[in-house]
Chain A
Amino acid sequence: MKLPSLRDVATEARLLLIGIPVFIWTMIPIYHMFLFAISPKEDAFSGKLWPDHPTLHNFEIVFKQQHYFLRDFYVQFWNSLVIAASVGVLTLFIATAAAFSISRLKVPGGRVVMNLALFTYFIPAAFLAVPMYRTMGNYGLLNNHWALILAMVTIASPYAIWVLKQASDKLPVELDEAAVMDGATTLQIFRLVYLPLMMPSLVAIGTYAVLLAWNEYLYAFLLLSNDREITLPVALGNFLAADDSPWELLMTTGFIYALPPAAIYYAFRRYMVGGLTAGAVKS
């Protein structure tokens, strides 16, 4: 093995000089959350970098719902889960149908619909939230899970259609022609030719929609308010209302809440990165 030259060492040192601050910067808020989750209250408030008595007691309190704020923990967890799953399924359904229609069936006005979707994609989310809140009230959906599901589908679909349409356009048109020659109906082409070939993009888009809905705070907090209807992030926000918020429990619940998206993200990272970067800027 040859020794690294002085120049290599210098390069490596320079890289580390960037890498170490980047690592610290990235991890601090997450580590701090974890630190609170494993600290008893007195350690958490002492500002130490590692608790004197690390404990899993906070997790026990959360899982046994032994605090006023945690009465509905499982219900709220379930709400988050159901809403995220519903948004994933509905977005996939709506966006796949639209992308198939525009890209493969060349529906008249398809280009206009693409532009409308793109327009929606560019409306700042917090700006749409204000009229959306009132709209859901007019529709009589406030405090109903459907309000949040439909709002998140509205936000997720434009991007989903955009990415799926680009992926559809890459499939050779001869596939459809061959299927038509064999006497396939449009629905058979959709089910037997189109869907299987689109699987990787569908996984990416499904994951994207589920994560978007799971992580959403603003719309959830505007559209749902009843303790047994709200999702976990809204419940976390409500912790702050108290004068002496149980921060160690807040952080523990937050940590539990942050685990599924991180796990899902890493499980589907291969699909996500390609899919998302392809659609976002079309470099």
Chain B
Amino acid sequence: MAITLSGDQALPGPPLSSRLTPAQVWGIVLIAPYLLVFLAFVVYPVCYGLWLARAPSNYVALYNDPIFARAAVNTLIFLVIGINIKMLIALFLSGFFAVQRPWIRWLSVIFILPWAVPSIPTILSVRFMLNPEWGMVNHLIFSFTGDDGPNWLNDPTVALTMAIAVHIWKSLPFWTLILMTGRLAIAQDLFEAAEVDGASWWQKFRFITWPSMQTLYITCTLLSMIWTLGDFNSVYLLTGGGPADLTHVLSTLGIRYLRLDQLSLAMASIVCAIPFVLPLMYFMMKRLSR
């Protein structure tokens, strides 16, 4: 996608300034700051990063690093299982929050909090809650059952599950809100007509709600995939990638290589996600720039 200026460079025409109206000159001046930011902090880093990751030896090294394979699998689990659970809950809750009750309105105001407050103190709070010796969760388990609770963050499977739970905790409100907007846009008389015909709630969902929300739901799921790939906090702040580097996802792995001063490996691990991310980005751009 090149920006082609009108006129041919080879032919000496009248100077550019005389062919542009003052409004167009202002247009170029006003768009310039963003273009500068884009060139300096998106184009340059991305090209430089790709250049750093160009050597095939990087990919051999990644292939031989068991932590990378594990991170790739974890990322897939996060994307396939985590996001689908999150979006299904969001779809369900969007129906709950669409019900008109004063107390549900109040609850929806509180429900937004995880999204509005910063990640670091809340995720660290969860981290302490899950502490096997002093955490609130195991204290509660002990007081109810008399048994010690699990060592939540010491088993990679449990720790990854908890990271997914934290991710859901943080981003569920946003998606619920979006899906609720979609639900409220459905014409109410459709439901009233279905009610008269004696439709069950499932039939109403199956034949009215779902068909009108399908596209929105799929778009949200795909967008959530892109953003989840960029979610560093849920894993890093809860498990730090541990135990034994078994809960890394691609985003924390890249930063891990970076901290180990292996910049080209860091870039290469991200490049591995490109074949997956680019189609998603292409689809989203097509969908949004209509």
Contact = CB atoms under 8 A, between A and B. Distances in A.
Interface residues of A, number: 97
Contact of B113 (A26, A101, A124): A26
Interface of A: 15, 18-19, 22-23, 25-30, 32-33, 36, 45-49, 93-95, 97-98, 100-102, 105-110, 112-120, 122-135, 138-139, 150-151, 153-154, 157, 161-162, 185-187, 211, 214-215, 217-218, 222, 233, 236-237, 240, 247, 250-251, 253-255, 257-258, 261-262, 265-266, 269, 273, 277, 280-283
Interface in B57-108: 93, 96, 99, 101, 103-104, 107
Q: Which of A101, A117, A150 has the most C-beta atoms of chain B within 10 angstroms of its own C-beta?
A: A101
Q: Is the interface of A mostly helix, strand, loop or mixed?
A: helix
Q: Is the interface of B mostly helix, strand, loop or mixed?
A: helix
Contact of A94 (B33, B103, B107): B33
A18 B97 CA distance: 10
A15 B104 contact: yes
Interface stretch (B118-126, B152-160, B192-200): B118-126
B42 A283 contact: no
A108 B41 contact: no
A277 B280 CA distance: 20
A251 B27 contact: no
A87 B85 CA distance: 34
A203 B176 CA distance: 23
Given A131-B46, A254-B121, 14 more contacts: A22-B96, A36-B128, A47-B134, A97-B33, A123-B46, A124-B226, A125-B227, A127-B230, A131-B267, A214-B118, A261-B116, A269-B112, A280-B174, A280-B223
A278 B113 CA distance: 20
Q: Chain B, interface size: which category?
A: 35 or more
B31 A47 contact: no
Contacts of A250: 121, 124
Q: Which of A94, A185, A251 has the most C-beta atoms of chain B within 10 angstroms of its own C-beta?
A: A94
